[in-house]
Amino acid sequence: MMSRKPPTDDVDDSGLVVSPPKDSAAGIPGVTAALKQSWDQMGAKRTALTLLKVNQKKGFDCPGCAWPEGDKRHVAEFCENGAKAVAEEATTRRITRAFFEEHPVSELAGRSDYWLGQQGRLTEPMLKREGSDHYEPVTWGEAFELLGTELKSLATPDEAAFYTSGRTSNEAAFAYQLFVRAFGTNNLPDCSNMCHESSGSALTETLGVGKGSVLLEDLYQADLILVVGQNPGTNHPRMLSALEKAKHEGARIVAVNPLPEAGLMRFKNPQRPSGVVGTGTPLADLFLQIRVNGDLALFQALNRLLVEKDAIDRAFIEEHTAGFEALDQHLRSLDWEEVLEATGLTRGQIDEALDEVQRADKIIVCWAMGLTQHKNSVPTIREIVNLLLLRGCIGRPGAGVCPVRGHSNVQGDRTMGIYEKPGKAFLDALGEEFGFEPPREHGFDTVQTIQAMRDRKVKVFLGMGGNFVRATPDSAVTEAAMRSCRLTAQVSTKLNRSHTVTGEQALILPTLGRTERDVQDEGPQFVSVEDSMGLVHASRGRLEPASTHLLSEVAIVCRLARAALGDDAIDWAAMERDYDIIRDHISRVVPGFADFNARVRRSGGFTLPHAPRDERRFPTASGKAHLTVNELRVLRVPEGRLLLQTVRSHDQFNTTIYGLDDRYRGIHQGRHVVFVHPDDLASLGLADGAMVDLVSEWHDGVQRRAPGFRVVAYQTARGCAAAYFPETNVLVPLDSTADVSNTPTSKSIVVRLEPV
């Protein structure tokens, strides 16, 4: 039974104020909001020192997002939300052992995500022993010994799962996956499984490379940029500067979104005087207010029209692609009524979009979570690839696919082998380099890990960053699964829900953040990251570490490996002393990293090769790019129900809540709101301001309820609703995942609104 009380929050929503949404993003309010939060967390001097190092060539990589920096850097190469991410980590607040004496784990479990995050940085390793309700201090030695003992006592290495969030550096990620495989499993779930997995699946299958094919310069050469299922004003604010510049260079922009997001409509560039005083640049030339989950229908309709009008690049299709006849055949059967129903658009709007596509030789499609977290995400992204291929828009300057990644090194972690389904070539190279036979069987992804914990098949869980319990779907199921583990351990910078919902025993392993100096036996170290466009560069922290007891992620992995593997042939101590040694290994195992140590030291770093982008070569089975046939099935929602998408507010980074405002959408001092179209409210008999429970409907008949949400009348697409994650993760059924990628369907949940 779920409680009907609002969540136990020290922050209730009693101060909630709703005002009209904004139609432009950034500008002065952006900068002042950022400085205020930095100031609160760090004080004035530290704020100035730290923010000036963000994304500079000799500084550290912003932990905010994976958008690239470009070659000419601004003195202030960060955005409002990057500044908040930095402040969250560089805060001067500290959690000491006294804090854990005062607060039992059971009490902490009832606190809000916001409260937990506000307590400051973790400062020493802590252990919750079996049967105890308190964390108590332990030495690092004891912590590694316990982990090592528990890992060694498992019946098989597959009874352990090793999660990674996307902030982990290349060096730490490489060492981590090496340890996990040397231990004997491919159970390497990561945040990508909940994020861009659908993009990776669709792109690998169709183009042969699971990454984006455009560089920053391409945006400035494009004729047309489609921004689909993405809210850059909040989640990738620096992208807005790039879109603005692209517009100045002549690009047109089409936004496809159920919500009229402020940043997509109009942008005020805080880095230019006109952005501060003027009304800003209108960004989208065309806004298609699509229904949630309508994108496959939209792109299929566009493709049908392109073929019908012969507005396609026949020479390119002939030379570089396979599958045109089947696609052509399939497109002929398109049902226009279904297209209009699925998209909620008119035929006139689709023709306008077609006109934009037809007028453009160089097209880029950017997307993020609005496309990747649906049942049909992989087919949807394949259909976008179809459009670009039909127009010859892959491997041409100013054109291509641009999945915009989330976490600042999520792409690099995958490149380094954080993957539950590693390829043969990678494992061969890894085994060869280190003289062992890596496990070949696929491991568990994120959803499978939860299922395995639930079914008692995984007993030890280690999280390299992130907040597994809170970021994952079906919170009630996940929490019970986590509690059933023998040991859960979290390598973390900040306190979060995953430290409070634990196995019988639990470890907190506090680590250095990006902003901090990392000094090992061989002297100061730096790490490297890969941005969303495949550029690899160094990141150096400058701040004094939050505590003298912190270890770097690399050191934690290397010491854990020694505790769990005993005397194996791998020289973990050397890797811990000197990260150049890890990079030398990487240069021999991972394609594209030859001469890594020299190249990463060059100003600005280097770009990884990408065969379709660089040579119009497609490393698929057939050697051609694949045009695909994607079945269109309209997601019909029963009478009186809505299709709910779960989004980020402007004041959060995933499960980290910076504050309680969502300025652009007009929400202040509260998070339990649900956005619904006024006409839908009328037909549901609900008024703006009404209080409702959100109840998820899924065929397993289980009650999934998120209680106590205020209804906000909002200009979203008809039939759709939006609310913030992670409060709504309780509504996402664990078994409701995307075909092929197995990503939770966090953007299409059928719900009913029950008045309270």
Ligand X SMILES: Nc1nc2c(c(=O)[nH]1)N[C@H]1C(S)=C(S)[C@@H](COP(=O)(O)OP(=O)(O)OC[C@H]3O[C@@H](n4cnc5c(=O)[nH]c(N)nc54)[C@H](O)[C@@H]3O)O[C@H]1N2
Task: Quote the least distance from Cβ 47 to ligand X, whole Å.
Answer: 18
Give SS3 for 495: coil
Question: Which residues 6+ apart lie within 8 Å of 144 measured at CB?
Answer: 559, 560, 562, 563
Q: Hey, is 378 helix, strand or coil?
A: helix
* 489's tokens: 């351990």
Site for ligand X contains 258 (CB under 6 A): yes
Amino acid at 59: G
Residue pair 522/585 in contact by the 8 Å Cβ criterion: no
CA gap 231, 152 in Å, rounded = 45
The answer to the question of residue 240 lying near ligand X (CB under 6 A) is: no
Q: Which stretch binds ligand X (CB under 6 A): 202-210, 274-282, 677-685, 723-731?
A: 723-731
Site string for ligand X, 55-94 (x = CB under 6 A): ---------xx---------------x-------------
Q: Which of residues 395-424 bind ligand X (CB under 6 A)?
A: 406-407
* Residue 462 lies near ligand X (rule: CB under 6 A): no
Q: What is the smallest separation between the CB atom of 610 and Mo ion, expressed in angstroms?
A: 21
What distance in Å separates the CA atoms of residue 190 and residue 410, rounded to the nearest whole number? Answer: 9
Tokens standing for residue 502: 């634990």
Of 216, 353, 453, 647, the one binding ligand X (CB under 6 A) is: 647
Distance from C-alpha of 93 to C-alpha of 495, rounded to nearest angstrom: 12
Number of residues that bind ligand X (CB under 6 A): 60
- Applying CB under 6 A, which part among 517-525, 560-568, 643-651, 733-741 lies near ligand X? 643-651
Q: Strands 642-647 and 749-755, how do they pair?
A: antiparallel
Residue pointed to by tokens 């049902």: 335
- Residue 195 interacts with Mo ion (CB under 5 A)? yes
CB of 591 vs ligand X, minimal distance in Å:
25
Nearer to ligand X, 294 or 605 (CB): 294
Q: Which residue is nearest to Mo ion (CB)?
A: 406
For position 552 contacting ligand X by CB under 6 A, the verdict is no
CB of 256 to ligand X, least distance (A): 4
CB-facing half-sphere around the CA of 556: CA atoms within 13 A = 32
Decide which of ligand X, Mo ion, none touches 257; Cβ closer than 5 to 8 Å per partner kind: ligand X
Q: Answer with the entry of Mo ion, ligand X, none that 259 interacts with (C-beta below 5 to 8 A by kind).
A: ligand X
Name the 3-class secondary structure at 78. Answer: coil
Cis peptide, bond prior to residue 726, ω within 30 of zero? yes
406 binds Mo ion (CB under 5 A): yes
Q: State the sign of the Cα–Cα–Cα–Cα dihedral 55, 60, 64, 69.
A: positive
- Please state the closest distance from residue 410 (CB atom) to ligand X, in A: 7
Listed ranges 24-32, 141-149, 189-197, 325-333: which one lies at the site for ligand X (CB under 6 A): 189-197
Shortest Cβ 508–Mo ion spacing (Å): 23
Q: What is the CA radius of gyration of the chain?
A: 25
Q: What are phi and psi of 520, to 5 degrees?
A: -115, -175
Please identify, among the stretches 137-145, 250-258, 344-352, 580-588, the one whose residues bind ligand X according to the rule CB under 6 A.
250-258
Residue from 670, 671, 709, 707 nearest 689 by CA: 709
What token pair was written down for 185? 């499993």
Work out whether 514 is an interface residue with ligand X (CB under 6 A): yes
147: Cβ contacts below 8 Å, ≥ 6 apart? 460, 462, 487, 489, 507, 560, 563, 564
Region binding ligand X by CB under 6 A among candidate stretches 233-241, 349-357, 519-527, 631-639:
233-241
Residue 70 interacts with which of Mo ion, ligand X, none, CB < 5 to 8 Å by class: none
Least distance CB 227 / Mo ion (angstroms) = 17
Report helix, strand or coil for 412.
helix
Give me the residues that bind ligand X (CB under 6 A), please: 64-65, 81, 165-167, 191, 194-195, 228-231, 234-236, 256-259, 261, 290, 292-293, 295, 368-370, 406-407, 464-468, 471, 491-494, 496, 511, 513-514, 553, 645-648, 652-656, 725, 728-729, 732, 746-747
